Structure 1
Amino acid sequence: MASLRDLKRRIKSISSTQKITKAMKAVAAAKMRRAQDSVLAARPFARRVRDVLGRVGSASVGMKHPLLAVREPQKVAYIIVTADRGLCGGFNANVIKMGVQEIKKHPDADLITIGRKGRDFYRRRGYNIAQQYIGTAKADISLTNEVARFVIDKYAAEEYDEVYLIYSRFVNVLVQRPVVQKILPVEPPEGEADEKKVDYIFEPDAETIMDSILPMYIQNALFQSLLETNAGFYSAQMTAMDNATKNASDMIDRLTLSMNLARQAAITKEISEIVGGAAALE
């Protein structure tokens, strides 16, 4: 059994750690609320962009556009979005694991990593990282526009034949689900546009409108992935810190019990020595 001094030292150390996890939980909870509000507020716009793309795409069937061109997937790129920091349970690991599974389908694929955790993992293992970005703690539209320009230029130049986006979708505080989304070539979603065919008049022309809508669709998909990642990260971190705080309490209780047993054993030993000494003097 450990000495009383060692037990006291361990209890003090765990108590200090527990204070840190409590503080991190409180910070993550506050940031999670703002991130959750942002992602929920952005989803209607993302749905509307997809809806408009579906309607316009169905009305302009047969139109040729570089971002609509379907080619044999010889060269594939994956945009993998993770957080910059850890201490969030399996949040980053789940996205990275899905990325590894998808890359097995195209071993020579290029990776565009957004987030430090994903970048570090794939760089250490020798994956082909074409571009890397960090700073996902705050969803930045300029960052997503830069990534969008990179993949759009590569696809238009026929250097990439398909581009996929891998990120963790925020479902609720306890559930974050990794998803794979194909963003290039752009595939107009099916839905209401197929149920009701409408003839649209394009001004100035369909090509000009598609030149605006298609990049916007890709930029919005990337921006939405950052918002989803932030909301999921803070939710996962809050849950992880809450579990860590509870585990610290359990460890302190067990160590306190061990310390009391050790103290009791020491007192019993001292009493026995005193009684034995007194008996020897008789």
Structure 2
Amino acid sequence: MAGIKEIRTKIKSVQNTRKITKAMEMVAASKMRKAQERMRAGRPYATKVRDIAAHLMGANPDYTHPYMIERSDIRGVGIVVITTDKGLCGGLNTNIMRLVLARLKAFEQKGISVQTTALGNKGASLLSRIGANLVSQEVQLGDTPNLDRLIGAIKVQIDDFIDGKIDAVYLATNRFVNTMKQDPTFIRLLPLPSGLADPFQADGGDDADGQDGVIKSEYGWDYIYEPDSKTVIDDLLMRYVEGLVYQAVAENMASEQSARMVAMKAASDNAKKVIGELELVYNKTRQAAITKEISEIVGGAAAV
């Protein structure tokens, strides 16, 4: 009967685990809806700022903001890695970190120095473990992006770009496609692509300066500036960069909750399957034990 007791204990343990994964699935589903709404709500702001900034730069071709200046000789780059603070979300963090490690290796082979910024505990832990040049980090981001905390972390990279210490800044994040699919994406944050192409367009390519998302217009633009065009463009482009970082974090948070919901649903389904198999083994073991006891009783009675 010891075997039956062990099986019963294991069934109880798996049932308790299934209760936990089921509860986590429901919580993730609730947070997923809010995260997706937050992600979609941020897109119109970034799009409008991008439109206005592109039109202003078109109206002032003589002024080139430092964010728009291409560097011919790339000697150093910065990478902002966006991951989650918690696990149990499938291969979400594994996929983005695999992409980051591949890019780190590619830059190293070209003799390009890399400094990194981590937004999220998982990315910070791995970058520290592999000995990457981690210049800033921000962890425990919560369920809602806080722009002040995010900008505080990436300001190190932006300032180094302006000072010429690095020649480009990249963002590594998970782009939300749908509930079942999240794409690890590596996009260039600085210098901004010509025409301010949307980096979160379909391909989300390395430099993201293709024609997708480029602002085009057949009309001329004339503005009255207060205080002056340079100050307005400077502030707008700073807001645009902040919007890109906020959008990248919002995309990653929506991806996190979607991936966690799917992972916990798979775990709950697997637990249910294991419980069914264990119950079958339990019933067979119990039936065998009862049959053995009956045989012993019949054998004893026959001997008497």
Give the alignment's TM-score, normalised by structure 1: 0.93
- Give the conservation status (yes or no) of the 8 Å contact 2:54–2:196: yes
Q: Distance in 1 between matches of 2:100 and 2:224?
A: 40
Are 2:245 and 1:245 aligned? no
Q: Does 1:111 align with 2:116?
A: yes
The CA deviation at 1:197 is: 4.9
What RMSD, in angstroms, separates the aligned Cα atoms of the two structures?
1.8
1:110, 1:129 within 8 Å by CA — same for their partners in 2?
yes
Which structure 2 residues correspond to residues 117-156 of structure 1 after superposition, within 5 A? 117-137=122-142, 138-156=144-162
Match for 2:218 among 183, 196, 200?
Answer: 196
Paired position in structure 2 for 1:270:
293
Aligned pairs, how many? 281
**Unpaired stretches in structure 2, ≥5 consecutive residues:** 198-212
Distance 1:58 1:147, change over 3 A: farther
For residues 52 and 180 of structure 1, the distance between their equivalents in structure 2, rounded to whole angstroms, comes to 25
Output one character per residue of 1:28-84: Cα deviation in whole Å (capped at 9) or x when no partner. Answer: 111111111111111111222222232223333342332222212111010010000
Query: How big is each residue's C-alpha offset from its partner over 1:222-279, in whole Å with a ceiling of 9 and x where there is no partner?
Result: 1111111111111111111111111110000000000000001101111111122222
Partner of 1:15: 15
Q: Which amino acid aligns with 2:124?
A: R
CA–CA distance in structure 2, aligned partners of residues 169 and 30 of structure 1: 20
TM-score by length of 2: 0.87
Alignment of 1:151-170 (within 5 A): 151-170=157-176
Q: Is 1:43 equivalent to 2:53 in the alignment?
A: no
Distance 1:19 1:243 in 2: 13
Unaligned runs of 5+ in 1: none
Deviations 1:63-109 (A, max 9, x none): 23322222121110100100000001011111111111222221231
Q: Quote the sequence identity (%).
A: 37
Q: State the 1:115 CA deviation.
A: 0.2
User: Is the contact made by 2:107 and 2:114 (CA closer than 8 Å) also made in structure 1?
Assistant: yes
State whether structure 2 residue 86 is matched by structure 1 residue 80: no
For 2:30, the equivalent position in structure 1 comes to 30
Q: Structure 1 residues 214 and 192, CA, compared in 2 at 3 Å: closer, same or farther?
A: closer
Query: What is the CA distance between 1:129 and its match in structure 2?
Result: 1.0
1:119, distance to aligned residue in structure 2 (A): 0.8
Structure 1: distance between partners of 2:14 and 2:215: 59
Shift of 1:16: 0.8
- 2:77 pairs with 1:55: no
User: Given residue 135 of structure 2, which amino acid in structure 1 is its aligned partner?
Assistant: A
